[in-house]
Amino acid sequence: MSNLFNKMKSKATSGGDNGQEEQSFSIQPHPAKTNNPADLQNPAPGTGMGLNNSEQMAPFHARDPHVPTDPQVLEAMGKQEGRDELRARQAELNREK
């Protein structure tokens, strides 16, 4: 039993391919030009780094809600319904058939 264990131990500790050199790693330069983190922020969409680079991610960086000012958009949205109309609509939708 100990003979089997010693064989397994020797196979595990021996470096299977003795002909290959040991791996080596080196430090790569950082892509930033300065040490200022503000340089990595995007002044315009599509010019930043990481997730800031995508225009598809722009809505997630919005600060305030969008309030439409175009009269055509306001007209297309319609009049805001009151509580009574909303409760009547809720009862209509929740009614079982």
Residue in the structure block whose two tokens are 């949205």: 77
Residue 4 has what pLDDT? 78
Q: Does the pTM of the predicted model rise above 0.75?
A: no
Give the gyration radius of the chain's Cα atoms: 33
Tens of pLDDT along the chain (97 residues) come to: 678 778 777 777 665 555 678 888 899 887 777 888 777 665 665 555 565 566 777 777 778 888 888 989 888 988 889 999 999 999 999 998 7
Closest to 53 (Cα-Cα) out of 35, 31, 68, 34: 31
Residue 65 has what pLDDT? 83
Residue 94 has what pLDDT? 95
d(CA 93, CA 42): 46
